[in-house]
Chain A
Amino acid sequence: MSAENVPCPSCGATHDPQAIDAALKTCPSCGYHYRMEPMDRIAYIADPGSFVEFSANLRSLNPIDLAGYEEKLSEAEKKARMKEAVITGTCTIENKNVVLGLMSFTFMGGSMGSVVGEKVSRALLKGADERLPVIIYATSGGARMQEGIFSLMQMAKTASAAAELDKAGVPFFIVLCDPTTGGVTASFAMLADVTLAEPGALIGFAGPRVIEGTIRQKLPEGFQRAEFQLEKGFVDRIVPRKEQRALLSRLIDLHTCGCGA
């Protein structure tokens, strides 16, 4: 999201875009977290130059022959400057090796089709195989309906891969970013050992408008926000961006065997 001289949506203060960038795309006044692209995140999470992407060239096909899907993908590619809605790789965080996956909401709303499901699954399985902690930054509107039933099946696929990591006893950390909803919430995003969230992130299964349509009333202020999910018990901690790298590093240390083996 471009923040160029636009007042902060939370406090209304106007800041120089550079000041916002320097604050990791947060409002220098109130700490409001703007949405952030994967490449910008890698810069503050990973040790400089350590990120090596894998499964970089996986591309979506059009499994249900939906008219216009290919065009939609090319548009998304240009808009997000990514080949798909998730990027996966290995990197170090304070010299500790990890698998890191990051989703982009700019790429078709971060929706999960075959490629997103496959790349997330490969990241989880790589973690299991090579005994590397897996960290995923999630943001998604849910399953990618343009791939029909295949997108629904990616929920089962990523959950199956998460089970593999679980059985291997390798830690899985997730950071829920604004927004994380639908099929991503109802699969790998809710299956981590430690579930972190960015301040103010919308996190839920059904989208707010769908719920309002069902119950025919307005949702209370703050419904489904990270702070609400913390209160309801579905998030371990809310972590501002500037504290994420240090916290992840400490969590990795805390998940190495504590019994001295």
Chain B
Amino acid sequence: MPNTDKLAKKLQELKKLAEESGLDVTEELSQLETKVKTASQSEQVWKRVELARHPDRPYALDYIERIFDDFIELHGDRYFADDPAIVGGLGFLNGRPVTIIANQKGRTLKENIFRNHGMANPEGYRKALRLAKQAEKFHRPIVTFVDTSGAYPGLGAEERGIGEAIARNLREFSQLKTPIVCVIIGEGGSGGALGICVGDKIYMLENAVYSVISPEGCASILLRDSTKAKDAAVMLRITSGDLLDFKVVNGLIDEPEGGAHLDKDGAAQRIKEVLVRELDDLCSRNPSVLVRYRNLKIRKIGHWNEGTE
């Protein structure tokens, strides 16, 4: 039994005891109740973080092979290298040609070394932009799958301008005259995720998370205690439900019972239905109008008070 369930049970017993004995412990009880509620919320949020990072969770290529026909991967940024942490290519979605760009994690140690644990270098973002521009040129819509703990904080990444690469993608993706649908399938980690997550429609899988900083990073900076990641995860409001409430994402995609890893085909089918529906709609619109709305939407995000003199 999870700790919070035990606590809740104990609380019920206390309540009963208080009633029977006629003692007034209302205040104590309500304090305890709040504590139990917070703890159980924290456990629920952390369960989602664990699901988003689950070692069996479907990664981009698992979905790509199930959703698209005739996927052809294209490689390289034409400047430096090919970055296996971001895959890109062409395929058909129900007969419609599309460009696919996605973060790719590895499942085995060997794969993870090859994919750099899904943490892209600048060339990954530059490859993404090259393929996105190519998509615009040939009037192909773009689908992105976001799943990374973040861009790679390494020596070479800095030397080759990871900041510049992400910045350029944000600007260029905001202006692409072709429909873009982004789906956060696992971890949406900070700028590294955002670098391929600017589009007309942003969806999130039910157990995906999207955050400006990892719970661990936030815990060590804000709470000055890296072991308090669970608390930080609650504070940061990173679950799909939070992001939908914040109107940062357009919609959620339900996962099969217990998480996407328990039924990869089912999860892929649900994503596919959303993509087909959204692209049917977006492709019928004037691309210049799409760009205008995309930017109006981006520029509205944020909370401030205009203030007075």
Total A-B pairs in contact (CB under 8 Å)? 188
Judge whether A211 is part of the interface by a CB distance below 8 angstroms.
yes
The reply to whether B191 and A64 form a contact with Cβ atoms under 8 Å apart is no
Known: A211-B155, A219-B155. A57 touches B238 (CB 8 A): no
Known: A149-B243, A191-B167, A224-B158. A206 touches B153 (CB 8 A): yes
The distance in angstroms between the C-alpha atoms of A83 and B308, with both chains bound, is 12
Judge whether A150 is part of the interface by a CB distance below 8 angstroms.
yes
Judge whether B163 is part of the interface by a CB distance below 8 angstroms.
yes
Interface residues of A in 136-189 (CB under 8 A from B): 143, 145-157, 159-164, 166-167, 182-183, 185-189
> Interface range on chain B: under 10, 10 to 19, 20 to 34, or 35 or more?
35 or more
Judge whether B248 is part of the interface by a CB distance below 8 angstroms.
yes
Residues of A within 8 Å of B172, CB to CB, are 163
Majority secondary structure of chain A interface residues (helix, strand, loop or mixed): helix
The distance in angstroms between the C-alpha atoms of A57 and B298, with both chains bound, is 22
The reply to whether A150 and B298 form a contact with Cβ atoms under 8 Å apart is no
The reply to whether A156 and B198 form a contact with Cβ atoms under 8 Å apart is yes
Known: A148-B238, A149-B211, A187-B170. A114 touches B303 (CB 8 A): yes
Judge whether B236 is part of the interface by a CB distance below 8 angstroms.
yes
The distance in angstroms between the C-alpha atoms of A66 and B303, with both chains bound, is 13
Cross-interface CB contact of B161 among A57, A66, A149, A234, cutoff 8 Å: A234
The reply to whether B174 and A163 form a contact with Cβ atoms under 8 Å apart is yes
Distance between A96 CB and nearest chain B CB, rounded to angstroms: 26
Judge whether B306 is part of the interface by a CB distance below 8 angstroms.
yes
Residues of A within 8 Å of B302, CB to CB, are 63, 113-115, 117-118, 150, 153-154, 157
Judge whether B175 is part of the interface by a CB distance below 8 angstroms.
yes
Distance between B187 CB and nearest chain A CB, rounded to angstroms: 13
- Chain A contact residues, CB within 8 Å of chain B: 56-64, 66-67, 83, 113-115, 117-118, 121, 143, 145-157, 159-164, 166-167, 182-183, 185-191, 204-206, 210-211, 213-215, 219, 223-224, 232-234
